[in-house]
Amino acid sequence: MDNIYLDYAATTPVDEEVFREIRKYSTVEGGLFGNPSSLHSFGRVAYTALENARDAVAREFNCHQSEVFFFSSATEANNFALRAVAEKYRKNTGSTPHIVVSETEHASVLETAKDMAVSGNAEISIVRPEEVEKTVRANTALISIMRVQNETGDVRDIAALSKEIIKKKNGMYPLVHTDNVQGYLYGQNVQELGVDMMTVSSHKIYGPKGAAALYIRGSRFDIKDIILPLMTGGGQEKGMRAGTENVQAIVGFAAALIISEKTRKKEFVRIKKLSERFIARIKEGISDVDIQRGDSESFCLGRSPHIISIRFSGVENFDKALDMEGIAASAGSACAQRAAKSTSLLRGSIRFSFGKYTTQDEVDEAVRRIILVYQNMTGKRSI
Ligand code: PLP
């Protein structure tokens, strides 16, 4: 067996059916490559494709299509969520906004929050996930907390949090934003989650890189009263995010989201079985392993089965040793690994993440190689 990919939380391959859609909107043969802002026939079909994609995303999110905005990545959408809400809050109230983020957020939220604190654009509280709710103050404009933690797989009860925050709301504030990039096995229904904003990324759900969606609730308040657009230009995305829309990526994203929602319940069961088998077999072969969790038991609903973080004691650079044996896993989140400053929660642990192309044979072979590498590095034999 060749290299085994166990890093689906970093990115996923594009689904073949999705890829066929993308081609249609990219090439001369496909004929659908137009700029959606152009008024001629090529532009009109691209515009129709864009709006059909928005309708599809809205159906899967269970929201109105006017509440869906496309961005180039979840990083961009998360930056926008924090910065654009803060700017509008300042404009609405004349005072400095307070933003609460959990300390386990992805760098795209955490580093944005820190940057806003340094530049004085907001007062920032970075707290344990279970402390988010009680950190709310009179001037809290936004809370941002991930649905499924990208390194540990911890699942948060965002619906319960949203309910509590609604009781504390003064007018529209505080708004609740959730980064649901890793939450696809649990669905993307914004009404069930009760959030005001939600981020989802295409390349984590078998869509192409270069597309993401930000949901902004428009049913309670006018979106223009919540958000101050940051990007000036051609006024695309109803003035929220200027720049020609990446139609082929967005169409691919919508197609991937439809497939993901249709298949996720079956996938959940299949991946759960694989992940339990993986953990049991690793534990059989190596005595000194610890499945890593971040959240307190009382706050967390469990672990998303597609993410497993394991601490192996007595080994350094284990991810690199595994890579040499053809196992692609990661030490923390992908972006934290190359960054000058790591924001990983999991120093010393390896994150294995499973996806729809992961097979039982791959899992068994991966376990065999992992145990072998561990034994070679530590000199410890099987227990
Ligand atoms: N949020 C979470 C939870 C993630 O796991 C990631 C990617 O690893 C991101 C945001 C950033 O996504 P993107 O690569 O689309 O910027």
Residue 75 CA, closest ligand 1 atom number: 16
Nearest Cα residue to 248 out of 10, 53, 68, 57: 53
Percent residues over pLDDT 90 in the chain: 85
Q: Is a pLDDT exceeding 70 seen at residue 339? A: no
- Amino acid identity of residue 269, one-letter, is V
Q: What is the per-residue pLDDT for 361? A: 98
Taking residues 168-175, what's their average pLDDT?
94
Residue-wise pLDDT for 292-314, tens only, equals: 777 666 778 899 999 999 999 88
**Atom 8 (ligand 1) nearest CA:** 10
* Binding site membership of 4 for ligand 1 (Cβ less than 6 Å): no
Give the torsion through C-alpha atoms of 341, 347, 352, 353, to 10 deg: -50
The predicted structure's pLDDT at residue 29: 87
CA-to-CA distance for 312 and 41, rounded, in angstroms? 59
Count of other CB atoms within 10 angstroms of residue 293: 15
Probe ligand 1: pick from 71, 204, 307, 342, max atoms within 8 Å of CB? 204
pTM of the model as a whole: 0.95
pLDDT at 345: 61
How many angstroms from the chain centroid is the CA of residue 44? 31
Query: CA angle, 120 as apex, 118 and 121 as ends, to 5°?
Result: 115
> d(Cα 79, Cα 111) in Å, to the nearest integer?
9
The string of pLDDT tens digits covering residues 202-257 is 999 999 999 999 999 999 899 999 999 988 899 999 999 999 999 999 999 999 99
Q: Answer yes or no: is pLDDT of 83 > 90.
A: yes
| CA 178 to centroid of chain Cα atoms | 9
pLDDT at 341: 47
- Which amino acid, one-letter code, is at 218? G
Question: Taking residues 372-376, what's their average pLDDT?
Answer: 94
Q: Is the C-beta atom of 212 inside 6 A of ligand 1?
A: yes
- Ligand 1, from 11, 102, 105, 108: best to mutate by most atoms within 8 Å of Cβ? 108
With H, G, I as helix, E, B as strand and everything else as coil, classify residue 84: helix
Maximum distance among all Cα pairs of the chain, rounded to whole angstroms: 70
358 CB less than 6 Å from ligand 1?
no
Q: In what helix (H) or strand (E) does residue 225 lie, and over which residues does it extend?
A: helix 223-226
Say what the pLDDT of residue 347 is. 67
**Residue 338 tokens, joined:** 């190359």
**Section 92-108 average pLDDT:** 96
| Mean pLDDT taken over the chain | 93
User: Does residue 42 surpass a pLDDT of 80?
Assistant: yes
- Residue 331, Ramachandran bin (φ over 0: left; ψ between -120 and 50: alpha; else beta): beta
pLDDT in tens, 106-163: 999 999 999 999 999 999 999 999 999 999 999 999 999 999 999 999 999 999 999 9
| 9 or 331, which is more confident | 9
